[in-house]
Structure 1
Amino acid sequence: MTGRLAAWLRSHVPTREKLEANRLVSPFAHLILRSELWRMTRRSVPRGVALGLFVGVMIPLAHFVVAAFLAVFLRANIPAAMLATFIGFPVIYVGLVALAYRIGEWLLHLDAMTGIQPLGETMQTTQTDHLLQHLTGAGLDTALGLFVLACLFSSLGYALSTVFWRWWVARKRRNRLAGAVADGVTSAVPDPAVFDPR
């Protein structure tokens, strides 16, 4: 199962070489193909996951392209960003849109019940309502709900990937240490028969 998933991801997530060969990317290759954007680090991977989840929910088309370009400016890991955009996969996205409509409708209804309508007024004053509708291609209720979901998913993705990264690094260190001890590399631990504290 894990092997099949890895093979599917390899065939669907563009590699650095595929992007380099893409003629649409070639004018921006000096930005997108920088090695630090493809290295897995404790800061860049959670940024990439958060960015990819946000883009995957908010932007219905061209997830990979938008995620890759935004990753350049946020110094996020490009493969993690592109992989996380799969939350916008059509089957999942239909459910997200339905949930987003409910959330947006509830928030706007709640806002309308208040006398001053802080959410609606702020969105109209700052033109956020038009921006959200243009980004998502949806009505205001759905666009607002998608924005809420995108913020929620990207925050959760950032937190969970940070925790997972720390666990994974700690596990690798433990395995390396256990392997070194099993191989007899115990230079850091003195032999009690030889060690003389005097």
Structure 2
Amino acid sequence: MAKKIIKRLFPSYHRVRDHQSLRFLGTLLHDPNLWHMNRRSVAGAFAVGLFIALLPLPFQMIISALIAIMIRVNLPISVLLVWITNPLTMGPIYYTAYTIGRKVLDLPRVGFSFELSLQWFTQELLIIWKPLLLGSLIMATVAAIAGYVAVRVLWRLHILSRINWRRRGKKVEG
């Protein structure tokens, strides 16, 4: 059922692959694995999307798309998942990552005062970059592994439930 909804919401792969602004990719987008909704492809897309989403990087959608193309997992899902970090969630996510990194590196808590200036940003970035990066890598790795395993397990459970329904002689939708 979820598979049908997702297929309905996403544009067709012919439409995306033949889009004028993506022609520079040539035949890379012609790989059917980038568009299939199977257990391997979706689980891999979750791993890629969640990993990239939790890293403090610019151009997350492009990076996620390139990795999805390289390892041949579902492209739309991997790109869509990077929107977990959006302007509303970015602050709490990166603060949590900084806190995890600070605790792992055993750094003391630093006082915080916000000032909207380039000098403040560069000064604070010099202080927080190590714990932020370490915490982000830890969170991204854990989320990617958890997302991959969760999709594989849930997909398998769904298949087993469909098999059980069929054995009982009932028709299953989806």
- The answer to whether TM tops 0.5 is yes
Number of equivalent positions? 148
* Alpha carbons of structure 1 residues 18 and 64: separation in structure 2 relative to 1, 3 Å: farther
Distance across 2 between alignment mates of 1:81 and 1:72: 10
From 65, 69, 90, the equivalent of 2:66 is 69
* Alpha carbons of structure 1 residues 157 and 165: separation in structure 2 relative to 1, 3 Å: same
Residues 171-190 of structure 1, C-alpha deviation per residue, up to 9 Å, x if partnerless? 33344455xx358xxxxxxx
* Alpha carbons of structure 1 residues 31 and 177: separation in structure 2 relative to 1, 3 Å: farther
From 135, 139, 142, the equivalent of 2:129 is 139
Superposition pairs of residues 17-166 of structure 1, within 5 angstroms: 17-109=14-106, 139-166=129-156
Q: How far off is 1:21 after superposition?
A: 4.6
Q: How far off is 1:32 after superposition?
A: 2.4
Q: TM-score, normalised by structure 2?
A: 0.71
From 10, 13, 28, the equivalent of 1:16 is 13
Distance across 2 between alignment mates of 1:98 and 1:82: 23
Q: How far off is 1:91 after superposition?
A: 1.5
Q: How far off is 1:162 after superposition?
A: 0.8
1:167 maps to what in 2?
157
Residues 67-126 of structure 1, C-alpha deviation per residue, up to 9 Å, x if partnerless? 12111221212122123222222212211100011111112226xxxxxxxxxxxxxxxx
Distance across 1 between alignment mates of 2:22 and 2:166: 39
Distance across 1 between alignment mates of 2:11 and 2:77: 11
1:116 maps to what in 2?
none
Q: Is the 8 A contact 2:102 2:131 kept in 1?
A: yes
Distance across 1 between alignment mates of 2:48 and 2:72: 10
Q: Is the 8 A contact 2:56 2:136 kept in 1?
A: no
* Alpha carbons of structure 1 residues 17 and 90: separation in structure 2 relative to 1, 3 Å: farther
Q: Is the 8 A contact 2:34 2:69 kept in 1?
A: yes
Q: Is the 8 A contact 1:52 1:85 kept in 2?
A: yes
Matched letter for residue 41 of structure 1:
N
Aligned Cα root-mean-square deviation (Å): 2.9
* Gap regions ≥5 residues in structure 1: 1-5, 111-132, 184-198
Structure showing greater relative contact order (alpha-carbon pairs closer than 8 Å, 6 or more residues apart): 2
Q: Is the 8 A contact 2:56 2:133 kept in 1?
A: no
Structure with the greater alpha carbon radius of gyration: 1
Between the two proteins, what is the percent identity of the paired residues? 24
Distance across 2 between alignment mates of 1:33 and 1:56: 25
